Structure 1
Amino acid sequence: MRSRSIAWRLALAFAAVCALVLSLIGVFLYRSLASELAYRDDMALLGRLEQVRALLADSDSLDALQARPRLYQNMLGNLDSLLLVRRADGSSVIAINPRQRELPALNAIARDQSPQRQDVLTWPAPDGAELALLSGEAQGPNGELLTVIAGKVLSEREQMLGSYRMRLYLAIGLGALLAFALGLLLLRKGLQPLRHLSEAVRGIDLRSLDQRLATSDAPTELLEPVQALNGMLARLDDSVQRLSQFSADLAHEIRTPLHTLLASNGQALNYPRSTAEYQEVLASNMEEFERLKRMAENLMFLARAEQAERALSLQTLDLQPLGDELCDYFEALADDRDVRLENGLHGELHADRQLLQRALGNLLANAVRHADSGSVISLRRRDAEGVCWLQVHNFGPVIGDEHLGKLFDRFYRADPSRAEPGDSGGLGLAIVQSIMQLHGGRVRVGSDAAGTVFELGFVVI
């Protein structure tokens, strides 16, 4: 199912917001207009009642008033207004009621009381029309008590408000459509940098990972994503370079034992050999096979470690007996090199026992292999703020600064001529680094005239 466009979604949201705002404004204007019209109608009724009261009070006789009906019709001004003046017995003095509607009983305001807006009654007539009615007492000629009823049919007001509602609906609808169209146009124009970014990313392939996306023309909102993409491209480029270098190094490392196997087997087949000579060839082949096996196992471990497939079995370890076990294991190799091992580990550490043994074992094997004859290799512990450092210290050739940053790369050897059949194939220190990454720690090395020190840093919680 094809997903909807972001521009369409935002344009619809923009149109909905505009419609909501226009609706609120329309409701406010409509109610303001309705209130203003109602106020004017009510004030007109109040004024009419006062005018009729004054006219009745100033007249000499009711007969003279009855003889001038046009005066009241002109005062009312339209057929939607009505005016009734009644005597106390219910007879009409003035009766202007174009529709001849029957009116409800009304409470008349005392003649000495000024009418107020709350005195106006809104009454629904039987024919469906609404009327605004106001009744008040008045004093006629010779002090006669009269009742005045002023009214107005509200149909004209309702028609005006209905027409105004229709215009509001039309304005809101057209405003929402216009907001949607303009919003969609502006959003598509505003999203052009995204399309340019997509085109730039689409043009980057495996052969052009060194290219970077331009940040100078990127909008502020896209600057952070562009920088993140550039960082990802840098990491991809670095990973591809490392993979290419790893492939080349792996081919080189495998080629050496394979070449040795082919050469020794070819010589053994070309000339007759004694049983002892064949056994010697087989023993040499076994050493090369062991070397290939260790290399394969180390590569498999590194692959699992990098993909975080290995679950850590963390436990609290007593470091002193762990160091004693490692020293005992490498004692024979140390004796062959005329090197002495010294365990200075102490205290406890929360780590994976098997992986810690492997990391320290790789460092000890490396130290024994490169230590000066007659020197001491020591295991130490140094506590810093929040970090426990396990050190492997040995005296040997100083490692140059140009090599220190590459020691933990796969298949890297500071001195390739010193590679031995029993070594880790250039993967030992890379495995140490992977083990420390699994533990969330780090490994570092320093080398000077005072010796070479490899340190494993574990975060102490």
Structure 2
Amino acid sequence: MSDPGRRGSLIWRAALGVAVTCAGVLAFSGWFLYRSLEAELAYRDDMALMGRLEQVRALLQDSDDLSALQARPRLYQNMLGNRDSLLLVGRDAQADIIDINPHTDAIPALQALAVNQPPRREHVVTWQPDSGSGLLLLAGDGTGRNGERLRVTVGKRLDERTAMLASYRLRIYAAVGLGALLALLLGVLVLRRALRPVRAIAAQVAGISPRTLGQRLSVAQIPQELYEPVQALNGMLDRLDDSFARLSQFSADLAHEMRTPLHTLLTSNGQMLNQARSVSEYQDLLASNVEEFERLNRMVANLLFLARADHGDCPIVRQPVDLQQLGDELCEYFEALAEDRNLGLHNTMSGTLQADLPLLQRALGNLLANAVKHATPGSTVQLRSERPGNETRLVVMNRGDTLPPAVIPRLFERFYRADETRTDPGDSGGLGLAIVQSIMALHDGRAALRSENGVTEASLHFPTVER
């Protein structure tokens, strides 16, 4: 058998699922953290611009002479802190007083805030030129100490923030990839260890053969999740063991039952061929052979029926059956045999029953044949129907010898006879009650037998079928 490879491996599939799940969780966490960092950086930059605008406004208002401010550009550069910030102060939107723009970025026309209007975050403008880095800009009007109206524009390049976020993104990608790979490898290792009990169970199952069907899987050290499957496997082995034993017994019984008529045929024919016989002797031999052939034919037919019933190849057709009419027909059929044995037949069945008519006739016929065969001469065999609870019970009762309690459970076994010495021309070969049980199983019912104080009752129990 070829190795299906990793593609068909449960371990690799489960480990891949774990890895994909971990990658998804890490990716979502990374995305959330990335968005949080991006929002925090944007908030800090906006607040820094707003504070810078207020500082410059205050500085301009407190300054005695604008020319003194122009002469001190290093003061503003130190205040701005780095080369990515800019500050423009001028008259009429012209940066003719202070012009700190290290990268000479082009500044778009901005709506300036009024002198007394405090800046808010929504006033900060993000400007992305066609070429170059993006800018955060904020413009507002201010006044000098002499009351001169000035335009103040503060800004910051987004290079640092963009680089920081790009680096963070790369780290997230690396973390997701490495995390998924690590989860895959750890998942394989953990699953291999976790599936050791499964491999141990497989080894035990592989060691079971027809000769060792009595062996059962150990449940001593298996995980809780595997307890029920192992118990189910043990239950299956119990059923297989029982079926195999029954099949072996059935084969032995069948060989024994077939051997008797075949031995009779061979012996009688061999004796007749030893010397010349009269015509009447040959006729008697042929009549005896026909009897044995009929017995073999009945046995084969019964075995075929049982085999089909066991494999579910006997579909039943339920229909309303008139029980009184069925009982009368069966009593009429067995009337001659009952008279030969000085027996009476009495039918009190009534009502209707949803059942397969031919199979019901066969089951009741087998019970009635047994009752007539074993009833005490001069007694009456009775048929009656009962409806206790949610079932219909059909009972065949006869008076005769009380059956031993140890015998009753075995009467429904195949080829079992309570009296091995009794054989009749119509003998079913020990399959009559087994056929009855199979017919009842097809109807989801059961057959039962009770024998007490010289009264034997065989009953068929049919569950109520809703129409």
Above 0.5 in TM-score?
A: yes
CA deviation profile, 1:40-66 (whole Å, cap 9, x unmatched): 111111111111111111111011111
Structure 2 residue 289 is matched with structure 1 residue 285: yes
Q: How does 1:188-267 map to 2 (within 5 A)?
A: 188-267=192-271
**Cα displacement (A) at 1:89:** 7.4
Which position in structure 1 is the counterpart of 2:446? 442
> 1:273/1:421 Cα in 2 relative to 1: closer, same or farther (>3 Å)?
same
Percent sequence identity over matched residues?
59
Q: How does 1:409-424 map to 2 (within 5 A)?
A: 409-424=413-428
CA deviation profile, 1:214-234 (whole Å, cap 9, x unmatched): 112121111111111111101
Structure 1: distance between partners of 2:362 and 2:57: 114
Which position in structure 2 is the counterpart of 1:4? 8
Which position in structure 1 is the counterpart of 2:55? 51
**Cα displacement (A) at 1:420:** 2.3
Q: Which amino acid in the other structure matches residue 19 of structure 1?
A: A
Is residue 295–residue 426 contact of structure 2 (8 Å, CA) maintained in 1?
A: yes
CA deviation profile, 1:58-112 (whole Å, cap 9, x unmatched): 1110111111111111111221111011113736111111122221111111221
Query: Matched residue of 2:410: which SS?
Result: coil
Structure 1: distance between partners of 2:145 and 2:327: 129
Which position in structure 1 is the counterpart of 2:121? 117
Structure 2: distance between partners of 1:39 and 1:142: 35
Which position in structure 2 is the counterpart of 1:144? 148
Is residue 400–residue 454 contact of structure 2 (8 Å, CA) maintained in 1?
A: no
Selected match of 1:395 from 396, 399, 407:
399
Which position in structure 2 is the counterpart of 1:367? 371
Which position in structure 2 is the counterpart of 1:330? 334
Q: How does 1:311-322 map to 2 (within 5 A)?
A: 311-322=315-326
Q: Which amino acid in the other structure matches residue 241 of structure 2?
A: D
Q: TM-score, normalised by structure 2?
A: 0.96
Is residue 85–residue 157 contact of structure 2 (8 Å, CA) maintained in 1?
A: yes
Query: Matched residue of 2:459: which SS?
Result: strand
Selected match of 1:268 from 262, 267, 272:
272
Which position in structure 2 is the counterpart of 1:19? 23
Q: How does 1:163-202 map to 2 (within 5 A)?
A: 163-202=167-206
Structure 2: distance between partners of 1:385 and 1:85: 104
Structure 1: distance between partners of 2:92 and 2:191: 76
Q: Which amino acid in the other structure matches residue 323 of structure 1?
A: G
Structure 1 unaligned regions, length at least 5: none
CA deviation profile, 1:158-183 (whole Å, cap 9, x unmatched): 01100110010011100000011101
Query: Matched residue of 1:402: which SS?
Result: coil
> 1:89/1:442 Cα in 2 relative to 1: closer, same or farther (>3 Å)?
closer
Is residue 53–residue 152 contact of structure 2 (8 Å, CA) maintained in 1?
A: yes
**Cα displacement (A) at 1:193:** 0.7
Structure 2: distance between partners of 1:79 and 1:390: 106
Structure 2: distance between partners of 1:48 and 1:89: 18
Q: Which moved more, 1:253-262 or 1:327-336?
A: 253-262
Is residue 396–residue 458 contact of structure 2 (8 Å, CA) maintained in 1?
A: yes
Structure 1: distance between partners of 2:275 and 2:400: 44
Selected match of 1:71 from 71, 75, 97:
75
Query: Matched residue of 1:142: which SS?
Result: coil
Structure 2: distance between partners of 1:100 and 1:113: 28
Structure 2: distance between partners of 1:224 and 1:89: 83
> 1:91/1:439 Cα in 2 relative to 1: closer, same or farther (>3 Å)?
closer
Structure 1: distance between partners of 2:108 and 2:154: 13
Query: Matched residue of 1:401: which SS?
Result: coil
**Cα displacement (A) at 1:417:** 1.5
Selected match of 1:460 from 461, 464, 467:
464
Q: CA RMSD in A?
A: 1.3
Query: Matched residue of 1:143: which SS?
Result: coil
Selected match of 1:340 from 314, 324, 344:
344
Query: Matched residue of 2:82: which SS?
Result: coil
Q: How does 1:78-157 map to 2 (within 5 A)?
A: 78-88=82-92, 90=94, 92-157=96-161
Structure 2: distance between partners of 1:120 and 1:234: 81
**Cα displacement (A) at 1:184:** 1.1
**Cα displacement (A) at 1:143:** 1.4
Q: Which amino acid in the other structure matches residue 52 of structure 1?
A: V
Structure 2 residue 432 is matched with structure 1 residue 428: yes
Structure 2: distance between partners of 1:102 and 1:12: 52
Structure 2: distance between partners of 1:29 and 1:89: 40
Query: Matched residue of 1:147: which SS?
Result: strand
Structure 2: distance between partners of 1:378 and 1:108: 115
Query: Matched residue of 2:387: which SS?
Result: strand
Query: Matched residue of 1:269: which SS?
Result: helix
Structure 2 unaligned regions, length at least 5: none
Q: Which amino acid in the other structure matches residue 214 of structure 1?
A: S
Structure 2: distance between partners of 1:422 and 1:47: 115
Structure 2: distance between partners of 1:382 and 1:305: 27
**Cα displacement (A) at 1:450:** 4.8
Query: Matched residue of 2:461: which SS?
Result: strand
> 1:67/1:330 Cα in 2 relative to 1: closer, same or farther (>3 Å)?
same
Is residue 343–residue 380 contact of structure 2 (8 Å, CA) maintained in 1?
A: yes
Structure 2: distance between partners of 1:435 and 1:453: 18
Structure 2: distance between partners of 1:99 and 1:304: 96
**Cα displacement (A) at 1:125:** 2.4
Q: TM-score, normalised by structure 1?
A: 0.98
